[in-house]
Chains A and B, each alone.
Chain A
Amino acid sequence: MELFKKKIESAFSGVRVSIPGRYRMVINAGKDEVISILNFLKGEGYNHLGIISCVDWPGEGELELVYIISAYMRDNDTYDDDCKANIILKTRISREKPEFATAINVFENAEPYEREIHEFFGVDFKGHPRLTPLLLEREYEIPPFRKDFDTRKYVEEFFDKIPFVENEDGQK
């Protein structure tokens, strides 16, 4: 891992790499470098995209995109150190104008994750072939997984419109 850390740092100048534990690596990268880092990692054998996640940090006005990458085994039945490793690649984008490049060309299974992040956090992935709704049935003014989405207010506004059933005494 230490060797690989040096290799990443020499290949990309703007990244900060840390190793928080055994088989764990965190890369903080600028948003322009992410796709080339993903390509680089894939070329180095880290060919399994586990998940793309997104975290909202309203205090800093940023959304954090998190790519978790690990490796399949090199042959079919040896469990070496590479496949134990998890690389967490993080980048921050603006919350006001959330735009990012798609990773579909590098990892095919990025497609549904990016669709989900588009729906829940409002991130616009440039080059994504179908950013259509995936799980939700309607569009929201504020993307629902952002921290400033008020769930209680939404429920009251949306579901209180259904009138109460009154019984014979006129009580609700």
Chain B
Amino acid sequence: MRKRELELYFGPQHLGMVGNFSITLKVEGDRILEAAANPGYLHRGFEKLMEQRTWIQNFPMVCRMNVVEPDSMEMIYSMGVEKLAGIEVPERAHYIRSIYLELARVGSHLFGLWAYANMLGFDTVAQWAMYHRDLILDLFEELTGGRVYHIYIWPGGVRRDFPDGFEEKIINTLHTIGSCVPDYDAAFFNNRIFYERAKDIGKITREEAKEMGATGQALRATGMKYDIRKVEPYAAYDKVPWNVPSREDGDAYSRVWVIRDEMIESVHMIFKLIDKMPGGKVYNKIPNPFKWNIPESDAYVRCESSRGELGLYIVSDGGDKPYRAHFRTPSYPHGLTILEKVLRNASIADVGNIMISLYVVAPEIDR
């Protein structure tokens, strides 16, 4: 029989696709010969819009760049503005920021687990993950008033202190989620089907990962414990001891296990941070936002979002608005460079598997 090449559009309307993203595949039978990532379905020009809004007006916008985990976007923008304007943050706010960001990381990983489990057909596990994410959203709702977009971190600290008894609520919620880890393990992580579907799929070596600019789970699954929280500690991440989970094989199986281990590590970290939390104020006063000019300068800041290195190159021309803001989102190299490479020679059934295990989030690429 003569073999034929076909062009196949995987997404944006496809059952295996999560998010507004598409991949154009060139296939022969079930084998992928070539893959071209095709982003842009969610491009909103945020970086251009930011140039026309004042420093403080940009907060409701930056968080919308990443639907799954908006909190690290608030953090990186705050870090950028604080660095340009030379604003100090009180000690207690550092702790609150860390706790808040780790909660967001757990929520984001549960969302990621939902997508991954759903794609592999583990619908029950997916529903558990979605339910547990909702418990974390309840905490956010009480703290900030918003469930998905919080706009909680501001330059100079956080918007307000924890309400009374909020620490116990965090601990109770995390215990509720943590008590289900054995169920998750039995139903999903130690399940033979997950192993068979994910082992040796989408494999990259450490050298390849470094060459292609990988960070986050994609890199940590190859054995390198590269994590900005350790490399260049910000907030209160250097105040408590914690480990960077990693695996050796660099395949989808390892990446999903790293995600699981990270959730558990984050929960432990939150407990330690709550124990050590100092008192005091939670924000330093900033100048009047309507008359706030930041001196002419530029800066690059970075933090660890739930997917890898999140960076911001921000330029001020001495005015009341950013002159240029450019975000380095982790999904950019993961979803465009690495995805195209590892999809070569994969089978069509594994496209969603590889993409979600690389934790590609489309709004982050498009911005």
Seen from chain A, the residues whose Cβ lies within 8 Å of a Cβ on chain B are 23-24, 47-51, 53-56, 66, 68, 72-73, 76-77, 79, 83-84, 86, 88, 107-109, 111-113, 133-137, 144-145, 151
Contacts and interface: CB of A to CB of B under 8 A. Distances in A.
Given A108-B212, A112-B332, A68 B300 contact: yes
Contacts of B300: 24, 50, 68, 86, 88
Nearest to B332: A112
11 contacts: A48-B210, A50-B213, A50-B309, A68-B313, A68-B328, A79-B230, A88-B300, A111-B336, A133-B40, A145-B48, A151-B48
A23 B232 contact: yes
Contacts of B219: 72
Interface of B: 39-40, 43, 45, 47-48, 52, 210-213, 219, 223-226, 230-232, 244, 246, 298, 300, 302, 309, 311, 313, 315, 323-324, 326, 328, 332-333, 336-337, 366
B318 to A, nearest CB: 13
A109 B212 contact: yes
A137 B77 CA distance: 28
A151 B48 CA distance: 9
Contacts of B309: 50
Given A49-B213, A79-B230, A107-B213, A112 B333 contact: yes
B328 A50 contact: yes
A111 B337 CA distance: 8
A135 B48 contact: no
Contact of A53 (B48, B213, B226, B326): B326
Which of A50, A83, A136 has the most chain B CB atoms closer than 10 A to its own CB? Answer: A50
Contacts of B366: 135
A63 B45 CA distance: 19
B196 to A, nearest CB: 28
Given A51-B328, A145-B47, A134 B39 contact: yes
B45 A144 contact: yes
A136 B313 contact: no
Given A50-B328, A109-B212, A133-B40, 12 more contacts: A50-B302, A50-B311, A53-B326, A54-B326, A72-B219, A73-B226, A79-B231, A83-B231, A88-B298, A111-B337, A136-B43, A151-B52
A53 to B, nearest CB: 4
B225 A66 contact: no
Nearest to A49: B213
Contacts of A50: 213, 300, 302, 309, 311, 328
A114 to B, nearest CB: 11
Contact of B225 (A54, A73, A112, A113): A73
Contacts of B230: 79
Contact of B337 (A112, A135, A136, A151): A112
